[in-house]
Every structure is written in structure tokens, then in C-alpha cells.
Amino acid sequence: MNVTVEELSPCRKRLKIEIPPNRVNEAIEKVTDDYQKAAHIPGFRPGKAPRTVIAKKFSKDIESEMQRTLVPEACREVIKEKKLNVVSRPEIEDLKFQRGLSLSFSTVVELAPEFKLPDYKGLSIKKAERDVKPEEIEMAITSILEQHASFIDVDPHPLVKDDFAVINFSAVSEGKALKELLPPAAASLAESHDFWLWVKDEAFLPKFADQCIGMNVGERREVAVEFPADFRHKEVAGKKASYTVELKQIKARKLPELNDAFTQELAKINVDEFRNRMKESLVSQKVTQADQNEKGQLVEKLLQGVNFELPPTVVAEETSQTVYDIVAENQARGIPVSLLEEKKTEIYSNATKTAQERVKLTFVARKIADEEKITVTQDELVERLQLLAAQQQMPLEQLVKKVSENGAIASIEERLLLGKVLDFLLKNAKAE
């Protein structure tokens, strides 16, 4: 084959490939053989039609099939011969073919970047806190108690902070009922009955709860609200509204007593065991957070220590996946599609930056893995797949089939490799 390699950038090359006539003819003959064996031609038994008839009747199909198999085959041979570390799917351009002559085409391929690793052993990091303080345990226990709290009626009194107020309200803005300005899904912001308001700073709407302090049961009061300019519902962002609020009841939160009866009902353990389990859970969380913090420092130092051009297609694919993840996460949190659409430029910009950092880190991590002979074993891959199957509540075989079909096995293996590289760097880091 006649091959010309043209460098477009450090990680993009154009390959111009010409396949000689004899090889093209051999490929055509092979495809014709296959057609002759399978073709059904009136007047002939299957596989017995003359080659001349087959070649004439299926001429265009034979040429198309030849190109479909021969072109990628030639690409693979050239990539192997030139020892190119290709990271994108070759796109065929300018294909030229005429019977009896050579077949030529060009393709632009993207390559893994070539760069020199920075010093990655002995990176200096600030050690993150791993100890759990007694007050943190008490706060965690209080949080559990709050989740199991009951609410009781209290004697009438002027509303104070930390009370729970049961209220009715309706609002107007710019001379219209506020619910006329909002989409149906947000109607509860404009009007509600028996709404529970926890009287604390910035509860419900900005400065709403503060203006309710001092109300008595049965009292009505006008509460002024100014929606922030970046409010999640653009229809009222930056607008002012007047709320008519009626206080119906005042409730107080009563926490359960921390005793064996409570912990037995909750987790079938006594109080001492409950405290120990809370401490163990907090220690585990702290260690995980500390590791993430320190690995984040290592990643930042690594990326600052090396610079190279990134393959555009790889970045584009990672950006698309990142945008998808951001949108899915926000939709799961109840953020409306309309708001996400408004912020698509910002979302895309943030996703692009994140994708560039991830792609850069992936190439750096791969190179460190090569240097240090760090690999992902089959057992480690199976263990991760078993974990994912358990998390998604599906049989392992079904998950393996799913990730194999969508090409996600390589991505899972890549994440495992990155984790092992970061563990290696953390083990060899210097703590300040």
C-alpha cells in the first residue's frame, strides 16, 4: 500500500492510503465468491449461477461490500505498521474507486498525546482530618432523633424562632394573583393551606419566616417577599410579591428519649452499641472524605505539572456524557427542564472544563500505570461488576450483558485503574 502521513496537530494526523489494484481485485473476487454461494438466481440452483451472471447482477453490491471490509482492514494495517496509538474512530474521506484501478481514501485519526510525566512520587499534600470529635457524634445522634421526632400542640404564644407554624397563605404580584404568573407545578409557592413553616432564617422564601415572628394563632399578616434575580422560576425572578398569611396552629418538635427502648426499636441494639455504631460510621465517612480530599490535591498538582494537547473527539464525547450526567442529576433533584434550558450555555461551559480535566487526568494516569506496572486484574473487575449489580438490583449476568452491549466495560476498567493509580500516589505522597 502507498501511505502518506500528514501531521495536522500534535494529536491529529491525516492518513492518505492507496490500495493497489491487485489487492482490490482479490477482495472483489472473494466477495463475488460469497455472493455466488448464497445468491438465488431464477433458472439456477442456489450456488450454481455462473460467476459472470453474479458479477453483472450484483456489481454495485459487490463493490460496496468490498469497500466496507477492505477500507477498515487497510486502516488497521496502517495504524499497526506506523505504531499509531489511535483514540478515535477513523472517519473515511475522499474515497475514490474505479474498476481495474487502485482504491484510495484518506482518514483523520486522533492519537493519544505524547508528553513527559511530571515528578509524581513524593507530591506534597495537606493531611485531611480523620479524627471524630465527641461533639460530632452527639450531632449525628441528634440528627437521628430529629428524624424520629413527633410534633405536639403547644399553648398559644407569639411565634418565635424554631417554632413550627401551620399557616394558610396566598400571594399577589404586580396586581395579579401570583399563581397566574407561575407554572402549575409551582402553584404551591403562590397559595397553600395547612402549610408547615419551620421558623428559621431563609425558610421557604427569603425573609418570609422572619416576618412571621410574633404572630398569634388566628392572626393575619402581610409579608413582603422579593424573589432573587436567579430564582429557579424565571417567571417571578426579581419580582416582588405580597403574601397574606394566616397563622392556624403552632407546633413544637419533641425528640424521642435516647434509651435502650428507642435504639432497640430502631436497630435492635442497646444505647452503647448504638453510640459505637454511630462513631464507626462517622470514622468511615471521615476517612473516605479525607482520602477524597487528599486525592483531589494530588490530581490538582498532577494536572498543573504537565500540559499537552487533548484529542478533540475524546473531549467532545466526555463533554456530552458530562452534560447528560449534570442534566440527569438536576432533574432527579426536581429542577425543571425549562430552567436547565435557560442555563444550557453555563452547563455546557462547566461540562467542557470538567471533561478536559478528566481526559487529561486519564492520559496522565495511564502513563503512570505503565511506568509503575499498575494493572486491573480480572478478579478486581468482576468484584466491581458484582458491586454495581447489587447497587442496581439486577443479576450479575444481566449487568455484564448490559455494559458489554453499550461498551461500558472499558470505562469501568478505566475508573478502577485511575483509583489504583491515585492510591499509589497517595501512598507515596509527602504529608505537610
Distance CA 32, CA 7 (A): 38
Residue 241, class by beta-carbon neighbours within 10 Å (0-12 exposed, 13-18 middle, 19+ buried)? buried
Specify whether the CB–CB gap between 277 and 267 falls below 8 A.
Answer: yes
Same fold, 2-110 and 264-431: no
- The upper half-sphere exposure of residue 86, i.e. CA atoms within 13 Å in the direction of its Cβ, equals 20
Record the pTM.
0.72
Q: What is the pLDDT of residue 47?
A: 74
pLDDT at 407 over 80: no
Q: What is the CATH number of domain 150-254?
A: 3.10.50.40
Tens of pLDDT, residue by residue over 316-350, are: 999 998 999 888 888 888 777 777 888 889 899 99
Q: Name the grid cell of 116.
A: 513527559
Domain layout of the chain by residue ranges: 2-110, 150-254, 264-431
Distance (Å) of CA 398 to CA 181, 381, 402, 412: 48, 16, 6, 16
Distance CA 180, CA 358 (A): 45
**What is the 3-class SS of 113-174, one letter each residue?**
CCCCCCCCCCCEECCCCCCCCHHHHHHHHHHHHHHCCEEEECCCCCCCCCCEEEEEEEEEEC
pLDDT at 403 over 90: no
User: Residue range 93-103: average pLDDT?
Assistant: 91
Q: What is the pLDDT of residue 234?
A: 85
Q: Which amino acid is at 134?
A: P
pLDDT at 283 over 90: yes
Tens of pLDDT, residue by residue over 207-231, are: 999 999 999 999 999 999 999 998 8
Q: What is the CATH number of domain 2-110?
A: 3.30.70.1050
Q: What is the mean pLDDT of the chain?
A: 92
Q: What is the CATH number of domain 264-431?
A: 1.10.3120.10
